[in-house]
Amino acid sequence: MSPERAEQIAVSALIWLSTNEDLLPLFLGASGAAAEDLRGLANSPAFLASVLEFITMDDAWVMAFCDAETIKYEEPLMARYALPGAEAVHWT
């Protein structure tokens, strides 16, 4: 997946998350971001990666987001790996 496509998915995820009354406060608490800063942070690939990391923590969230955006369930995680910071993941 290209970084550009990954950013598109992440921005869509941020928009979806910002309209979710249940998940938005959880994300803000976990990320330390303020609701009024989200628009400006949408230009940061690292912040967008954190949005995808948050959503991919729960299969139900992934499914809800993907169903709303009509994308495949594996795309948010693929997008996460295409954004900065994923290369630091080591499984051994």
84 exposure class (CB count in 10 Å sphere: 0-12, 13-18, 19+):
middle
How sure is the predictor about 92, in pLDDT bands with cuts at 50, 70 and 90?
low
Number of domains in the chain: 1
What's the pLDDT tens digit per position in 33-87?
888 888 888 888 888 999 999 999 999 999 999 999 999 999 999 999 988 765 5
Parent domain of 34: 3-84
Contacts of 65 (CB under 8 A, 6+ apart): 12, 13, 16, 17, 55, 76
Domain membership of residue 92 (yes or no) is: no
Domain membership of residue 90 (yes or no) is: no
Distance CA 55, CA 9 (A): 12
Domain membership of residue 70 (yes or no) is: yes
Q: What's the token pair of residue 76?
A: 């948010």
Burial code (b: 16+ CB inside 10 Å, e: under 16) for 34-45 equals eeeebeebbeee
Domain membership of residue 13 (yes or no) is: yes
